[in-house]
């Protein structure tokens, strides 16, 4: 638990997150219009989404299934009976004048997520609920001097609002929770987790208190769209609240925005009666009733989730918790690794994927999906290390060429003549040469300076341009100098 | 339950209705009449009675996840007082 040092002592920050995750579906929650990102304005709008009089919503079964699948992936209670309500407010990008949401009876109840922290410890974060709701349209304020432009393409797209308990105690924990949630949703295939396109946004509730005291008054930071910004916003907001309280002030419960350019949070202009949503059950929709057998069938079809995969990587492949964690965080990385270990040594494979491949991809600004070195190709390289065709050092050289050219390891080894020398005669000749050229050092070794052997190994390796088998060089030198 | 002038004003604002000052008092009286009439329902004991969600016995119908609608910008914008480049245009509402 990390504390904030104030002038008058320590403060504890308390954080809860409301995450809006766009449901992966072809059509919207209550209409047959497409959810595809990036279309021309208002081309993916049905009369239902535009709230034309008399239009009636009909629920998309896939969206319900995705919400239930997510609930099961979050170890949460599935409510077989839930209700859609109208949340009433006025805004130009909300043509209905209300959002169809779920209020008192959400489709998913309490669950929990295990969050892994950088120091290797884990923390449980409680899930309060998950409910289905409609997204609003998009308002563009900078297109015209006196008008706001409204695009309803997003209007009616299905969102899952996932509400956490106020269980987090630092920006790091909140960031790790959001990362874990994103990872789980992507494994489940229920949300693409693309934060740049707004597929996941978080409302962050922050308060501070003296350790052991009751919760303080919270502020809600709206619509933060990256893990990094969530962490920055919490750091700033917690410090701001501590400063206000230590100056003898009080915290107003209010909605704030995070200004990413200036790195500060500021109060939104207070909308009068902003929180008077006058929820009531939507008379256009009957309650959502689920068949327990249907829920059970979804449960049986859940894929292996990050926690399970991590445990399996540790157990079956002997990986460290850290390496396993790095590999399972992104589904695509885990799949890539599993393809490599199909033919290559698991521990070597983990090192190569994490250090060399991720490093090179990062440097090149590429993702694992367009890696110039395929999983099979990387496995092909690792196999050449384990069968002693090349040393680990030469392998790094080969890898660089593979990354640049996309050629397989064997072709490069052949072409460049990098094959490790394992011919005893050839190595012996090089060893003899080095010994003959350094009589004074030979005398030192014989006089008891055993550590100089390492220097001799280095000289022979250099003479062989790195191609001699280091173990054989070592053995031969020992036999000749000490034997 | 009884509404005063301030509450009527607030409800009117939430519904984006403009009500003249001299109409608030009569409107409060009218709304109180309606509320009084509806409140007679409170005389019935509804403990342990689940809320009725439909007058006919039927379940919520589900739709398949197929794209069957959209691509009708002109129809969607047909009633818009103002539009530009496929957008609805409304008086600026930036925070």
DSSP state string for A230-270: HHHHHHHHHHHHHHHHHTT------EEEEETTTTEEEEPPP
d(CA B82, CA A232): 40
Closest CA to A167 of A180, A186, A157, A158: A180
> Which residues in chain B show pLDDT less than 70?
1, 94-95
Please indicate whether, in this complex, the C-beta atoms of A269 and B67 are within 8 angstroms of each other: no
- ipTM of this complex prediction, to 2 decimal places: 0.89
pLDDT band at A375 (very low <50, low <70, confident <90, very high): very high
Best mutation site among A96, A147, A266 for testing chain B: the one with the most B CBs within 10 Å? A147
CA-based nearest residue in chain A for residue B94: A141
With 60 as the cut, is the pLDDT of residue A316 above it? yes
The answer as to whether B45 is a domain residue is no
B1 SS3 class = coil
Residue ranges of alpha helices (H) inside A148-219 are 171-188
Closest CA to A182 of A165, A200, A169, A164: A200
d(CA B43, CA B40): 6
Chain A residues with CB under 8 Å of B68 CB are 27, 32
Please indicate whether, in this complex, the C-beta atoms of B59 and A289 are within 8 angstroms of each other: yes
Chain B residues with CB under 8 Å of A33 CB are 67, 69-70
CA distances from A251 to A97, A267, B73 (A): 31, 12, 46
The answer as to whether B13 is a domain residue is yes
Number of domains composing chain B: 1
Compare CB distances from A276 to B14, B68, B91 and report the shortest one's residue.
B14
B65/chain A closest Cα distance in angstroms: 6
Please indicate whether, in this complex, the C-beta atoms of B10 and A62 are within 8 angstroms of each other: no
Closest CA to A134 of A45, A68, A220, A195: A45
In sequence order, the 6+-apart residues with CB closer than 8 A to the CB of A262 are: none
Compare CB distances from A288 to B10, B60, B85 and report the shortest one's residue.
B60
d(CA A368, CA A339): 13
Domain housing B9? 5-39
Do A13 and A174 form a contact (C-beta atoms < 8 A)? no
The answer as to whether B62 is a domain residue is no
Task: Bin A119: left if φ > 0, else alpha if -120 < ψ < 50, else beta.
Answer: alpha
With 60 as the cut, is the pLDDT of residue A455 above it? yes
pLDDT band at A271 (very low <50, low <70, confident <90, very high): low
Residue pLDDT, tens place only, A110-159:
999 999 888 888 899 999 999 999 999 999 988 888 999 999 999 999 99
B26/chain A closest Cα distance in angstroms: 24
pLDDT band at A478 (very low <50, low <70, confident <90, very high): confident
A41 SS3 class = coil
Q: How buried is A50 (Cβ within 10 angstroms: 0-12 exposed, 13-18 middle, 19+ buried)?
A: buried
In sequence order, the 6+-apart residues with CB closer than 8 A to the CB of B46 are: none
Residue A90, pLDDT score: 87
Residue A476, pLDDT score: 87
Average pLDDT, chain A: 92
With 70 as the cut, is the pLDDT of residue A269 above it? no
Domain chopping of chain A, boundaries: 3-298, 304-416, 424-481
H or E, element range at A432: helix A424-437
Please indicate whether, in this complex, the C-beta atoms of A26 and B65 are within 8 angstroms of each other: yes
CATH of domain A424-481: 1.10.10.410
Compare CB distances from A286 to B53, B64, B92 and report the shortest one's residue.
B53
Residue ranges of alpha helices (H) inside A32-96 are 61-73
The answer as to whether B79 is a domain residue is no
d(CA A42, CA A33): 10
d(CA A124, CA A101): 27
B40: contact with A, CB 8 A cutoff = no
Percent of residues in chain B assigned helix, strand, coil, to nearest 5: 40, 10, 50
How many Cα atoms sit within 13 Å of A297 on the Cβ side? 6
B22/chain A closest Cα distance in angstroms: 23
With 90 as the cut, is the pLDDT of residue A391 above it? no
- The 10 Å CB-count burial string (b at 16+, else e) for A349-362 is bbbbbbebbbebbe
């Amino acid at each position: 638990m990390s504390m904030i040092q104030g002038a008058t002592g320590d403060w504890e920050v308390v954080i809860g997150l409301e995450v809006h995750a766009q449901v992966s579906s072809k059509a919207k929650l209550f209409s047959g219009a497409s959810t595809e990102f990036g279309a021309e304005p208002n081309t993916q709008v049905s009369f239902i989404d535009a709230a034309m009089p008399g239009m009636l919503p009909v629920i998309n079964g896939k969206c319900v299934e995705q919400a239930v699948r997510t609930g099961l992936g979050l170890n949460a209670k599935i409510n077989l009976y839930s209700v859609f309500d109208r949340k009433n407010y006025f805004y130009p990008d909300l043509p209905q004048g209300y959002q169809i949401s779920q209020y008192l009876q959400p489709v998913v109840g309490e669950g929990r997520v295990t969050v892994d922290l950088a120091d290797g410890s884990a923390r449980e974060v409680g899930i309060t609920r998950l409910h289905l709701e409609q997204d609003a349209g998009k308002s563009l304020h900078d297109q015209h001097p006196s008008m706001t432009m409204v695009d309803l393409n997003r209007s009616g797209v299905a969102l899952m609002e996932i509400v956490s308990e106020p269980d987090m105690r630092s920006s790091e924990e909140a960031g790790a929770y959001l990362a874990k949630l994103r990872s789980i949703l992507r494994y489940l295939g229920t949300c693409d987790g693309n934060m740049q396109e707004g597929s996941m946004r978080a409302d962050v509730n922050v308060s501070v208190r003296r350790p052991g005291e009751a919760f303080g008054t919270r502020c809600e930071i709206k619509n933060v769209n990256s893990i990094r910004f969530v962490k920055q916003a919490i750091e700033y907001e917690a410090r701001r609240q501590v400063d206000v309280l230590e100056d003898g002030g009080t915290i107003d419960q209010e909605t704030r925005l995070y200004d990413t350019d200036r790195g500060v949070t500021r109060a939104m202009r207070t909308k009068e009666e902003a929180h008077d949503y006058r929820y009531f059950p939507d008379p256009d929709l009957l309650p959502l009733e689920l068949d327990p057998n249907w829920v059970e069938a979804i449960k049986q079809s859940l894929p292996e989730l990050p926690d399970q995969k991590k445990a399996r990587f540790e157990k079956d492949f002997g990986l460290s918790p850290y390496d396993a964690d790095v590999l399972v965080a992104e589904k695509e990385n885990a799949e890539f690794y599993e393809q490599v270990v199909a033919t290559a040594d698991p521990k070597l494979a983990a090192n190569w994927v994490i250090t060399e491949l991720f490093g090179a991809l990062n440097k090149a600004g590429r993702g694992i999906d367009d890696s110039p070195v395929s999983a099979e190709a990387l496995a092909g390289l690792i196999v050449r290390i384990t069968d002693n065709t090349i040393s680990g050092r030469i392998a790094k050289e080969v890898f660089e060429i593979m990354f640049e050219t996309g050629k397989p390891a064997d072709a490069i080894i052949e072409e460049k003549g990098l094959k490790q020398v394992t011919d005893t005669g050839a190595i012996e000749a090089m060893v003899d040469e080095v010994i003959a050229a350094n009589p004074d050092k030979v005398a030192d070794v014989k006089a008891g300076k055993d550590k100089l052997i390492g220097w001799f190994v280095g000289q022979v390796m250099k003479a062989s341009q790195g191609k001699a088998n280091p173990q054989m060089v070592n053995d031969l030198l020992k036999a000749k100098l000490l034997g | 339950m009884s509404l005063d002038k301030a509450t009527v004003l607030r409800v009117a604002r939430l519904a984006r209705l403009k009500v003249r000052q001299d109409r608030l008092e009569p409107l409060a009286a009218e709304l109180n009449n309606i509320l009084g009439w509806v409140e007679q329902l409170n005389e019935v004991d509804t403990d342990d009675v689940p809320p009725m969600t439909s007058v006919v016995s039927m379940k919520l119908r589900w739709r398949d996840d197929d794209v069957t609608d959209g691509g009708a910008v002109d129809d969607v914008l047909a009633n818009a007082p103002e539009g530009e480049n496929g957008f609805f245009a409304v008086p600026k509402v930036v925070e």
